[in-house]
Amino acid sequence: MAHPENQKPATRAVPLLSPHQLPAVVPQKNGSSGFTHFDRRLHSSVARLTGGVSPFAVSRAWSDWAIHTARAPGRQTELLLHAVKDAQRLAGYAMQQSLGKRPEQPFQPRPQDPRFRHSGWDMPPFSFWKQGFLATQNWWQAATRNISGMEAQDTDRLEFLARQMLDVASPSNIPWMNPEIIEETVRASGQNLINGAWNFWNDYVQTVTQSRRPAPEGYQVGKDLACTPGKVVYRNDIFELIQYAPLTDQVHPDPVLIIPAWIMKYYILDLSPHNSLINHLVQNGFTVFAMSWCNPTVEQAELSLEDYRRRGVMAAIDTIEKIVPNAKIHANGYCLGGTMLAIAAATMARDSDDRLASITLMAAQVDFTEAGELLLFLDESQISFLEDLMWDQGYLDRPQMARTFAAIRAEDLIYTRAVHRYFLGREDLPTDLGVWNGDTTRMPARMHSEYLRSLFLENRLTAGRFAVEGPVIALKDITARMFVVGTERDHIAPWRSVYKAALFTETDLTFVLSSSGHNGGIVNEPGHPGRHYRIGRRHGDDLYVGPDRWLEAHDPINGSWWTAWIQWLEESDGALVAPPTMGAPSQGLLPICDAPGSYVFQD
């Protein structure tokens, strides 16, 4: 029998999108006219300069606001009075503070904004600059809302753009206006600025050369991170399947399959041993399999969304069935991996395939009408712009993805970090999550175009228009139990959007709302201080309860939701059994190499 990594799966054209909706992202360079070719090259060059953001989307938001504000004299008067009121509050604060008093600050930064935490910002003249900036921020926040006739998407875009514009001009970014920088410069006799200049040069060289920093000591992948013992038992051109070695004499009869997002490396779920979800499962007696996606190159530009379902998720399920026969699978999908799991599960339900014991979706959306700031600028213009960029490159590159994520929390991930590195001269403190966050991947051109169009732009999955192998699929066909996790401060998959899984399914569903954000709320190991979660169960015949009512009805519980999830998994399991073999030698599935495999090291 052929070795798994040499097997060639059968290929079949699957009309996920109709031909007129699926643009040729890569291969038709030769088939395009010379004029079209020229335009796409031009758009690709512009996209590299703008970080992949369409200038049309930006200009449309500003023009929409300007036109509707210009025709609304009442709204103009309201904003003028708002500015006068803010100026009066500022003047009153400045006057009292100049007299030696300690008045209450009229404007406060957002809770997640770390730029003004130094005590020097509460003393003049720094307090005046801080309050002036926050007052301007407050006015722009008011100016970009409640504009009659303005498109809701443009309103959200403009608020985001105004915040980005103001973040650039923040006094915290200016050395002689930042008390923390001044204090450190005096203390270090300017050495912090020398160190900062060296940090800036290193970052500049890394950006220009697109090189990676070596992992710091104590954070080596395969040694310190992604170090749960196991074997790669299957490999094709899209993913490696890792089977983890048992740590208990007996295991639960039904294995767990981890399906990570393909935007980043899989080991977010296998970080350090103490906060590894995979290690936690193995310690609790589960046989665990995890998919490690490849980092695609230009030769894989034509990988499709259907390839990721059929030759990815379904190939993993087929392999696990051979290794652990007569068992059902607890499938767990994180972020886009969860979305793909939902698609696969609905397809399996349609086809009467009952191999799933349960479905867990972690920070994963099935409905994209409230997709969060990550997709704020997503429209036809934006997708076409990205398609031209990917047509030229063959993929969406790592820095282009990283800049998008950083822009969502610019005050923290961009400007605060820049101040610390370039003006305070401090190195980034290494963390396992930080090392993983820098280990970015590429996105195949066709697949990226397909999911942006079919899921994010057209929301086909919950609209009953998502076709797999011909017929459409429906989430309500799923009968396996579901465990859905949202996180309170998620800017990528807002928890109210994640909660919509309860609206479009009819099976037994447990919903958990975890503290922290998209990553921290999932990597939420027992014993982590300050963490909490809320949990509630919806039986299949219960009426739908909206997210806000659900929030009011469920009090926070201190601790980690991992404990509740383990208990939930155990509810449907039978008696413990002996661990399965590593791979299935009789089926031709011999272990290929040690975990974490080879794909995780692809640059």
All structural domains of the chain, each given as residue ranges with its CATH number in brackets, are: 230-369+468-601 (3.40.50.1820)
State whether the Cα torsion 406-412-417-423 is positive or negative.
positive
Q: What is the average per-residue pLDDT within 433-438?
A: 85
Directed axis angle between helix 126-143 and helix 152-168, to 10°? 160
Contact indicator for 359, 345 with CB cutoff of 8 Å = yes
| 495: exposed, middle or buried (Cβ count in 10 Å: 0-12, 13-18, 19+) | buried
Ranking 22-31, 81-90, 111-120 by mean pLDDT, the lowest is 22-31
Q: What is the average per-residue pLDDT within 183-202?
A: 93
Q: What is the pLDDT of residue 212?
A: 72
Q: What is the pLDDT of residue 13?
A: 39
Contact indicator for 415, 172 with CB cutoff of 8 Å = yes
- pLDDT bin (cut points 50, 70, 90) of residue 396 is low
Report the distance separating Cα 244 and Cα 228, nearest Å: 7
Q: What is the pLDDT of residues 58-82, one digit of tens each?
A: 788 889 889 999 988 999 999 999 9
Both structure tokens of 254: 């039904």
For the cut 70, the answer to whether the pLDDT of residue 453 exceeds it is yes
Q: What is the pLDDT of residues 256-288, one digit of tens each?
A: 999 999 888 999 999 999 999 999 999 999 999
For the cut 50, the answer to whether the pLDDT of residue 19 exceeds it is no
Q: What is the pLDDT of residue 154?
A: 81
Q: What is the pLDDT of residues 313-367, one digit of tens each?
A: 999 999 999 999 999 999 999 999 999 999 999 999 999 999 999 999 999 999 9
Q: What is the pLDDT of residue 348?
A: 98
For the cut 70, the answer to whether the pLDDT of residue 471 exceeds it is yes
Catalytic status, residue 335 = yes
Q: What is the pLDDT of residues 39-64, one digit of tens each?
A: 766 666 666 666 666 677 778 888 98
| 43: exposed, middle or buried (Cβ count in 10 Å: 0-12, 13-18, 19+) | buried
Percent of the chain with pLDDT over 70: 84
Q: What is the average per-residue pLDDT within 380-393?
A: 64
Q: What is the pLDDT of residue 504?
A: 96
Q: What is the pLDDT of residue 398?
A: 52
For the cut 60, the answer to whether the pLDDT of residue 406 exceeds it is no
DSSP assignment, residue 257? E
Percent of the chain with pLDDT over 90: 58
Ranking 265-269, 389-393, 412-416, 525-529 by mean pLDDT, the lowest is 389-393
User: What pTM was estimated for this model as a whole?
Assistant: 0.83
41 CB-side CA count, 13 A = 8
Ranking 102-111, 113-122, 442-451, 533-542 by mean pLDDT, the lowest is 442-451
CA distance readout (Å), 463 to 10, 380, 414, 456, 512: 30, 19, 37, 12, 25
Q: What is the pLDDT of residue 569?
A: 96
Q: What is the average per-residue pLDDT within 212-240?
A: 92
Report the distance separating Cα 591 and Cα 562, nearest Å: 29
Could you tell me which residue, 393 or 82, shows the higher pLDDT? 82
Q: What is the pLDDT of residue 534?
A: 98
Give the mean pLDDT of the chain: 86
Q: What is the pLDDT of residue 155?
A: 85
Q: Of 230, 232, 234, give the one whose Cα is nearest residue 319.
A: 234
In DSSP terms, 361 is beta-bridged to 333, 484
Q: What is the pLDDT of residues 286-308, one digit of tens each?
A: 999 999 999 998 888 889 999 99
Q: How far does Cα 131 stand from its chain's mean position?
A: 33
* Marked catalytic residue, from 227, 294, 335, 593: 335
Most confident of 94-108, 274-288, 368-382, 426-440: 274-288
Q: What is the average per-residue pLDDT within 375-383?
A: 69
Q: What is the average per-residue pLDDT within 150-168?
A: 84
Q: What is the pLDDT of residue 1?
A: 39
Long-range CB contact pairs, 562-567, < 8 A, 24+:
562/277, 562/280, 562/524, 562/525, 562/526, 563/526, 564/512, 564/533, 564/535, 565/360, 565/483, 565/485, 565/512, 566/280, 566/281, 566/284
Could you tell me which residue, 561 or 385, shows the higher pLDDT? 561
